[in-house]
A and B are shown apart, each in its own frame.
Chain A
Amino acid sequence: MSAQRRGRNVVWTRRAVQALALLLFLGLFLAAHQREGRPAGGLGLFFDLDPLVLLATWLSGHTLAGLSLLALLTVAVTLVLGRVFCGWICPFGTLQNMVASLRRRLRRVLPRTEAFSRWQRAKYFLLVALLVMALGGAHWIGVFDPQSLFYRSLATTVLPGTQAAIEKGADAVYQADPHLGRAHLTSASEPAYRFLRDRVFVAARQVFAGSGLLLLIFLAVLALNLYRPRFWCRYVCPLGALLGLLAKRSTLRLVGTDAECNDCGLCTIRCPAAAQPEKHGRWLPTECFGCWNCVAACQNGGLDFRFAWPWRRPQASTVDLKKRALLASAVGGLGGLFLLRITPEAQGRVYEPSLIRPPGARPEREFLQRCIQCGLCMKSCPTGVLQPAWYEAGLEGIWTPVFNARIGYCEYECNLCGQVCPTQAIVPLPLEQKKQVKVGLASIDTSRCLPYAYGRECIVCEEHCPIPTKAIYFVEAEVPLREGGTRVLKQPRVDPDLCTGCGICETRCPFHDRPAIRITSANESRHPDNQPILPGGSGLDSYGGGATG
């Protein structure tokens, strides 16, 4: 078989593998929701396979405990085959391939020659800076890691948007009920809608704070493919950089001969990585995705991938990472670290009341050392209480999960966020243990609460409180009325020993603008310093004094 024939076969095989990997990614993504009796394992497969997640989390958390070592498989494969993870597996890379091919079809012109650009070194400098930051405990790789970026974007923007469009469309048809005689459009649209709702989406539609900006970032990254194919992978991706460094001496190498080459340039036009396949002996294994496009493109069969012993020097070039630039990147990382750490919250002097973390979240410092902002917990959360942080956790904790109890609440019978977290930033607690965890404390705003402020009955917060013995109780109070006389009303109080801060009281409070009962991070189990209330009831029972009266 000629090299070109073989190249074409491999390219088609690669496309099939890419499609399967993307479908697997999307399948696992859609499967991340609560369902009785189903284990949550495997949902974070692509994060487990990501060596950047493993390395950076190890550096920032100083431990491998709770981390999947599956990423070592990716490392091994990269050492043998090169950056094939980027070319064959990475779902975000595949999506970018698709956008880039759209560009070719739309423009209907010969694409430009993709020459190597010195800017491709940027990703290595970013990697160094991020790893230096990680070493200091600031885990910012999730902002740039392609698995995190893709998952987060799907979870917070693409899926909710798609779901909303389908729901609104089905509702419009349902309500207008267009029909021709006895043929109603709803008899087609309703089953289709129910199929999508019950079989595809399954989980209820969520809404996310600031999802517009996250969508813009996602679309911008995709749009850059119209400028250069796989722009992100070439110039920015720190995972690509890490794999590139590992691929420097990979055993599968591109081999070309000048004799067969007529300088037609087809190989370099088809190369999405600008890896210089046309310059024999100067091929860039650190850039190459191993996609085999060049082999398939060469009509003379002048290019081929061949195995070589790792100790043999490759007939290849390297990207010149200047020592000075690397040092500057490291200093930049330190500077970034410093920038993130000068806030009062990061200094541990104050506690942000709205910084309420999922149940099982480690103490804030440790949590930030592990959270990769992937959004898996947010996607899995049945009520949508978990939202991407914008300011609550400072810049360091951007897009990490925080509670917004006006949007949702922490379901008493659910511990899914801890089960799915790929880095155990949220510890996977058994359900009974999770029910004991306090994420915060409810407090009543007596200037709004109906029985306090407006002389009206209302028991909604108590009604919804899921604690078996109710963390909200009533004290009967005689309230004077405007028209004279009094009325006895049940006024709610919060028992700080029982309240876990789940927030359903805030979600269900009749006030939807600013609820009259709200949760803050006070009393959270993970921070003893943020627990203002001595546990064990209000009396002085231990010395026999007891509550008076």
Chain B
Amino acid sequence: MRRTRRDFLRQAAALGGILALGPARVLGRGAGEGEAAAEPAAMAIARWDAAAVDPGLAEVARRLTVQALDAVGGLGRFVNRGDVVWIKPNLGWNRPPELAATTNPDVVATLVRLCLEAGAKRVRVGDYTCHDARQSYVTSGVAAAVQAAGGELVYLEERRFRDVELGGRRLKSWPVYPEILEADFLLNVPVVKHHSSSRVTACMKNYMGVVGGRRSAWHQDLPACLCDITAFLKPRLCVLDAVRILVAHGPTGGNPADVRELRTVAAGTDIVALDAFAAELLGQRPESLATARAGAEAGLGRLDYRQLALRELTVS
């Protein structure tokens, strides 16, 4: 990708700003909020309290998201004032939210709101979908929720992908959507689903929605390809939507009998750990998951997420 001098200056200035202000922000925040925000967790799992009064699934999703994000230090830890944020949900399929083939709209909308509250200038939401995006954005409920929250829907256009040097083991270069790379912060928000190839689709698999080209060929060596794109994108934060999960006939689903309402949201800085947790939610051992294992071997994170600074919350 060509980089103009203007881009360079802008990025250098932004980097300088982060270096100068970043620690101060964290310190100031810690002092201001007292003991509640003592040490941000590397990973947080927010589960809904089954005994609590049910305020409806939308509100449940909202509270889970807020609490999980709070436990990892809040979005202020990742988003700077004036940033452009790209939220990458899984909107691959033209399915309503009840079928758990796409990321929960309330989780996405809550993240949009939190990003804006953290000072983001623009929050853009987009996925390179399998079905027609004009349908799946709407059917998934995400279009309406994002617009109501003040986010910006972006329809990715096939012709605008550009070959980017990934420098991976399997993929040297591949078409990636430039506007996603230009964003200051990429927030990965997958839904936990069964998948016939990777067995589980969660965080790493969700990155298939930032690439174009003949991406279906990735299935011939999915673990390596996903490691390459993950290593290139250097994830700083992922949010795992397990409000509803799809346990069979994924990733498209379509049968309500294959959906489980888990009422769980996890957030964390370790993408492999989150995928390992997702595997457990689907009844799989993390070590049996080729993608997560490959990710751990490639140094992208760790499978034993319980060894991280983990905070488990019961939300009501």
Please report A residues at the B interface, Cβ cutoff 8 Å.
34, 36, 167, 171, 174-175, 197, 202-204, 382-383, 411-414, 450, 456-460, 462-470, 474, 490, 508-510
Contacts and interface: CB of A to CB of B under 8 A. Distances in A.
A468 B196 contact: no
A411 B160 contact: no
* Chain A CB within 10 Å, residue with most, of B131, B249, B251, B258: B131
A462 B196 contact: yes
A465 B132 contact: no
Nearest to A472: B196
A34 B220 CA distance: 34
Contacts of A456: 220
A134 B7 CA distance: 67
B21 to A, nearest CB: 25
Interface string B159-178: 11000000000000000000
A414 B222 CA distance: 31
B219 A459 contact: yes
Q: Interface range on chain B: under 10, 10 to 19, 20 to 34, or 35 or more?
A: 20 to 34
Contacts of B155: 197
Contact of B219 (A197, A411, A460, A466): A460
27 contacts: A175-B160, A203-B134, A204-B132, A382-B132, A382-B135, A383-B132, A411-B94, A411-B131, A411-B135, A412-B254, A413-B95, A456-B220, A457-B219, A458-B216, A459-B197, A462-B196, A463-B196, A463-B197, A463-B219, A466-B252, A467-B254, A468-B253, A468-B258, A469-B255, A508-B130, A508-B216, A510-B216
B253 A510 contact: no
B160 A171 contact: yes
A466 B254 CA distance: 7
Contacts of A466: 93, 252, 254
Given A467-B254, A468-B249, A468-B255, A174 B160 contact: yes
* Chain A CB within 10 Å, residue with most, of B93, B132, B155, B253: B132
A112 B26 CA distance: 85
A470 B130 contact: no
Contacts of B135: 34, 382, 411, 413-414
B217 to A, nearest CB: 5
B163 to A, nearest CB: 12
Given A174-B160, A466-B252, 12 more contacts: A36-B138, A167-B157, A167-B159, A382-B135, A383-B132, A413-B94, A459-B219, A460-B219, A463-B251, A465-B252, A468-B258, A509-B216
B139 interface: yes
A175 B160 CA distance: 8
A413 B139 contact: yes
B234 interface: no
Contact of A464 (B95, B130, B157, B160): B130
A171 B219 contact: no
* Chain B CB within 10 Å, residue with most, of A171, A174, A204, A383: A204
B39 interface: no
A463 B195 contact: yes
